Amino acid sequence: MRLHVLERTQAVASSREEVFGFFARPENLAAITPPRLDFRILTPSPVPMRNGTLIDYVIKLGPLPLHWRTLITCYEPPFRFIDEQLQGPYVFWHHTHQFDELPDGGTRLGDIVRYLLPLGPLGEIAHILAVRRQLAQIFDHRRRVIAARFGERPDPGKEQP
């Protein structure tokens, strides 16, 4: 099994407190998840975010519903939080959400997802053929939704194309 890493950053015009507040409400996950995944949170609302919070939800991959349970293993508002999969489609899933204040009051969102797929060599083939692309599409959708909600802007810490 090979550890895969997905990294994304995005700068938005809104304050770190506002952006973190949005992400600190698991109920908002449906808004940033592509509709085709039919994301549904199962944990009763409101979900109190803190170290040790368990969140259960269901997503669909094609016609198949997948139950997913995550544990919040680090919660440091308004700087970062980490969710780890306890049950779901991956052997290992560790997602760090980072929120950095920009000099002009905007926010840089950072995501680092480390994951392992099941099924050894078959999982690696699935990663090449579909999983890598599907995860990229999910995070591309999320980027568009976040940009529309919080106002995307150039990131002063990144070289612009």
What is the mean pLDDT of the segment spanning 146-155? 91
pLDDT tens column, 78-126: 999 999 999 998 899 999 999 999 998 899 999 999 988 888 877 777 7
Residue 9 falls within a domain, yes or no? Answer: yes
Residue 20 falls within a domain, yes or no? Answer: yes
The pLDDT value given to residue 23: 97
Contact 67, 56 (CB under 8 A): yes
In the chain, how many domains are there? 1
Residue 159 falls within a domain, yes or no? Answer: no
Residue 157 falls within a domain, yes or no? Answer: no
CATH code where residue 95 lies: 3.30.530.20
The pLDDT value given to residue 118: 87
Domain that holds residue 103: 4-150
> Pairing between strand 4-12 and 92-101?
unpaired
Residue 160 pLDDT exceeds 60: no
CB neighbours of residue 119 within 10 Å: 11
Residue 99 falls within a domain, yes or no? Answer: yes
Residue 158 falls within a domain, yes or no? Answer: no
pLDDT tens column, 21-64: 999 999 999 999 999 999 999 999 999 999 999 999 999 987 88
pLDDT band at 140 (very low <50, low <70, confident <90, very high): very high
Regarding pTM above 0.75, the answer is yes
